[in-house]
């Protein structure tokens, strides 16, 4: 057996394993109507009426309320069909992990969402991006086009310089005409996408899933190191033995994280963070349970 055939066989086995894991979680833990856990997903605006005690305060239409001098809430009616669209970052920075590569978690999340959509008879599509659009799958009723065991969505050439989330979101905004539910899976190690993600959130329900390695948060004490950015190839000396360096690095990581959290809140985007030491499937299930309990 040639090296290429071995690689193809390993890839096929990995994807088939993901099929089994994803089906288990969908059937046992996500068997309910997953769309009901997200505000606005699977529904379209119908009318406004006066606010009554017990209504969700998030549904208050402040423009109408200020104009009429009383609190009015938005009423939605359920759509027969929801479009789920998954935007997946496949840039080189996701092929790093001290415990598990982020790209493996991204693939598992993609399978989970795709099977959950199919379980609820919804359309599902996907876009894979780096510094360009690598693959685009038009939303369809069945998810076989995405979950094909003979296709490896995560073996792109490492030609990337800097991942371009802004361009990917622009393509999604232009392509998805009807309101749907968009999931963005990335480490969000890029800039310039803020305007586009906020615009996407105005038209669709958005869940941003940030994947990060535990070593990014708690820098290990490994002496002098030379770091290299997998996308820009820039290098940086790291003196991990010194407490001062580790504290400063943690402060930098924390500030970058808070900027992302503030952006999500400002744009009205749901957010979820998953560490490399966490099981992506279990993290997603906990999040769904939390949203259902709100």
pLDDT of residue 192: 92
pLDDT of residue 292: 67
- Could you tell me how far CA 282 lies from the centroid of its own chain? 15
Say if residues 227 and 204 touch (Cβ distance below 8 Å): no
pLDDT of residue 208: 96
Exposure string of 158-197, with b = 16+ CB inside 10 Å and e = fewer, is: eebeebbbbbbbbbbbeebeebbbbbbbbbbbbeebeebb
pLDDT of residue 41: 45
Q: pTM of the predicted model, to two decimals? A: 0.75
pLDDT of residue 163: 84
The structure tokens 């399978």 sit at 111
Q: Could you give phi then psi for residue 30, rounded to 5 degrees?
A: -115, 30
Rg of the chain, C-alpha, whole Å = 21
Domains of the chain, residue spans: 3-35+81-293, 43-78
pLDDT of residue 165: 95
**Residue numbers of the chain with a pLDDT score lower than 50:** 39-42, 150
pLDDT of residue 261: 95
178's tokens: 């009807």
Give just the sign of the alpha carbon dihedral 22, 26, 28, 30: positive
> CA 86 → CA 39, 252, 280, distances in Å?
18, 29, 15
3-35+81-293: CATH topology: Rossmann fold (3.40.50)
Max CA distance (Å), the chain = 76
pLDDT of residue 231: 60
Judged by DSSP in three states, 195 sits in helix
């Amino acid at each position: 057996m040639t090296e290429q055939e071995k690689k193809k066989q390993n890839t096929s086995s990995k994807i088939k394993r993901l099929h089994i894991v994803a089906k288990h979680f969908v059937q046992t833990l996500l068997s309910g109507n997953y769309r009901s856990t997200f505000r606005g997903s699977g529904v379209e605006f119908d009318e406004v009426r006066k606010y009554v005690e017990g209504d969700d305060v998030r549904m208050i239409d402040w423009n109408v309320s200020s104009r009429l001098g009383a609190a009015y809430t938005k009423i939605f009616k359920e759509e027969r069909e929801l479009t789920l669209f998954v935007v997946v970052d496949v840039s080189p920075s996701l092929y790093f992990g001290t415990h598990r590569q982020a790209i493996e978690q991204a693939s598992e999340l993609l399978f989970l969402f795709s099977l959950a959509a199919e379980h609820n008879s919804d359309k599902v599509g996907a876009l894979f991006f780096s510094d360009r659009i690598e693959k685009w799958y038009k939303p369809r009723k069945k998810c076989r086009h995405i979950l094909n065991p003979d296709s490896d969505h995560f073996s792109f050439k490492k030609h990337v310089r800097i991942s371009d989330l802004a361009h990917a979101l622009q393509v999604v905004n232009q392509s998805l005409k009807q309101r749907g539910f968009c999931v963005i899976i990335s480490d969000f190690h890029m800039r310039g996408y803020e305007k586009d993600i906020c615009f996407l959130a105005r038209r669709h329900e958005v869940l941003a899933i940030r994947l990060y390695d535990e070593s990014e948060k708690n820098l290990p004490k490994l002496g002098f190191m030379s770091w290299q950015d997998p996308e820009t190839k820039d290098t940086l000396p790291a003196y991990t033995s010194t407490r001062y360096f580790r504290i400063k690095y943690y402060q930098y990581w924390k500030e970058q994280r808070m900027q992302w959290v503030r952006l999500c809140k400002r744009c009205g985007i749901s957010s979820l963070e998953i560490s490399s030491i966490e099981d992506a499937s279990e993290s997603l299930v906990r999040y769904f349970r939390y949203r259902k309990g709100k």
